[in-house]
Structures are given as C-alpha cells and as structure tokens.
Structure 1
Amino acid sequence: MTTLNAIIMEVGKDPAVYKLSTAIDKQLEEIASILGGNFVSSRLFEVGNGLSLHIFLNDMAIPLQLTANRRFPEPDQDQIIYGNALFLIIDDTNGDEEGALDIPNSICDIFISKLKESLLPCNGDEKPNLDAEIFVENPGTNEERQFKWEEVQAPGKEEELKFIGQGYVRIVDDGICDILEVRGRYFKQKYLKKKQKNFQ
C-alpha cells in the first residue's frame, strides 16, 4: 500500500477523503503543501486501541490571514479553523515513528458526516479575536513570554538575503535570526508586556 486515507477540509468545500503517501518524509511534504506551510496538530478524540483523530493546521494561519474555514461547535464556537485542515489517525504511543495510519473507507464516511455536522462552515470574512493572535513561548516556565507575529518589510534586497531552512517557512540569516520568511512575506515576533498583578 503506497497511500492511506486521510480527510481534507478545504476552505469552501465539504470534507473529503484525501490519499496521502505512506512514506513519512513524503507524507510530511504533502501535509505542508496541503496546509500551505509549517503545521501543528492537536488531538481531537480517541477512536480506540490507542489511536486518536488529530487535526493538522497551518501554524501561521492567523498571521498569514488565511480565510476562515469552519467553526468549532459550542461551547468553543469562538474557535475558528483558518485555511485548510487535514484529519489523520495517529497512534498515540508511536505517532512520531509511524506517521499517520489509514482510515478505512467506511470510517472515513462516518468521520466526514460527523465533521460536516459538528464544524459549521464560516462565511469566509470572519476575523480572529485578539486572543487568537497571541502566541506563547516557553509556556509554564520562568522564561514564558507572549508575542504576536508582526508583518515587516524584507530586511534587505530579497535576492541578496540568506536563509536558514528550505521549507515553506525560512529564517532570515542576518546574524540576529529573528525574522521569518513565509511565502514571500516577512514576520517578526513582537513581544507583549507582562500583565501587572494587582495585590490587594
């Protein structure tokens, strides 16, 4: 078997079966291509036998201002999926080693039906709330900091810039390395001031 079933949810379309390569390196490239960049995943729910359905999303969807796709059900209706999403079955104990597992056709049909029922389509003009724009670095440690991605001008002539990495997201190698290039756009972390605690 050279492909496995996953479920794709493209902006403006119903969820559908997507054939993904079983070779992990190729699988990662295909996921990045579908989602339009680097990605993150979250475990949605366990499906049995140590397997879970995970959702994969572009981790720069909000800074890139990708189109609103679907809204989560209550009580999380304020949470919106921006850009395309991919749903994969992952073995929770060996996920990184095995990659995604095949979703049988009959189970795909059930998942697609449930996703259509649970994740309502957006109009496409929804904007993220302010909290969704805030990212956290080193959560739960003394070095925890909050930041937003701020779009900036290219730090020099694009043809003369050097980069670290060759994927969809590259770091500008300018000695400081604090600017990302994503599909021809440049972003820098803008750190937020820590909130003052009120003592009473």
Structure 2
Amino acid sequence: MVTHGGGSFGIGILADGTAAAVVATSPGVAGVFTGNVDVRGTLTKTDNRFKIDHPADPENRYLAHSTVESPEMKNFYDGVVSLDEHGGATVELPDWFEPLNETYRYQLTPIGAPAPNLHVSRKLADRHFTIAGGVPRAEVCWQITGVRHDAWARTHPLVVEENKKPEERGYYLHPEVQGQPAERSLGALQHKQFSRP
C-alpha cells in the first residue's frame, strides 16, 4: 500500500508492504527529500557522505565529506586537553559512553613539541581515562574509539559479508562499475518484480 499526501502526521508518502514498498529507479536522482527523514530500521547504501553549502563560498560552491566506514559499529570521540604541572590529565566522558561502547582504542598527539613518554596511564573506567608522561602545561589531542554494544547493536549485529539471494545472483548494485549493462542492476530487477500484476 502506498499513500500520497500530508495527512495528520505530515507524512508525504506512507508505504507498507511485505516486499519493497517503494522502488525508484532513475538515471538521475531517484528520490529527493526536503525535510527530516525517519528510518526505523537499517539504512543500507552504497556511499556514505554529506553535502552542504560551502562554508567559505556558500553562494557558489558545495562541500562534500565522506563519513568513516568500518567493519565494526564504531564510534569516534576526540578533544584537546591541557596537561597539568606533572604532565598528566584526566579526560571525562559522558555518562552514556560506557553503556553505549566497549573495546576502547586510544590515540594521543602532543601539540608543539615531541612527548615520547606520553601515554594512557589508566584505561577508561567510571567515565574517564588518564594521560601521563607529557610535557607540563602542554596541549594534547586525544581520540578514543569504541565499538557499540547497546541493546540495538547486540540484537542487530553488522554482517560484514553475505551471499546474495539466489534471485539476486548475476545482478549488481551498480553494474556499470563492474563493466555490466544497466539491465543487470538490482534496481532493475526489483522494479521488474514490483511491476508484476
């Protein structure tokens, strides 16, 4: 079922189905959303980027960035901390950090001068980790990554490699980059299946 129109919830298109409820294929842009998009499930895509008006020339240019990709559900956090008179510091993290993350990895970079003895002196516990061995009063850039272990991540683990379904074999997400004709696209297959009476 596909319903068009605003309705009392302010939804432009409401689609419901056991297979693909909406299939859009276009050599240009298959869909344009102006406003918020709420995805209550897994969003699977070939590319991962944002595009904004260029901060230095918003009238004439765009700026695009790619987001970080990983075979883990990984979160990145960073900051800058000033070391105390002993060359150490404590980095405090929000109360939601440990319930959300596990398997921590640390990176430290001194600013202004080498600090060969700079290190994480105490691993993350009770929302903080400590740094030692730096130059007194120096600044240090820190980064910590964690792998998600919240309830959603545990019940919906990332499957890094998977076999295509039998009906999808021989079809491609982007056949043109594989040297295949457009009719071998998964989108064309789905459109054909969706269009059947």
TM-score band, normalised by the shorter chain?
Answer: under 0.3
| Greater strand fraction, Structure 1 or Structure 2 | 1
Q: Under a length normalisation based on structure 1, what TM-score does the superposition of the two structures give?
A: 0.23
**Which of structures 1 and 2 has the bigger CA Rg?**
2
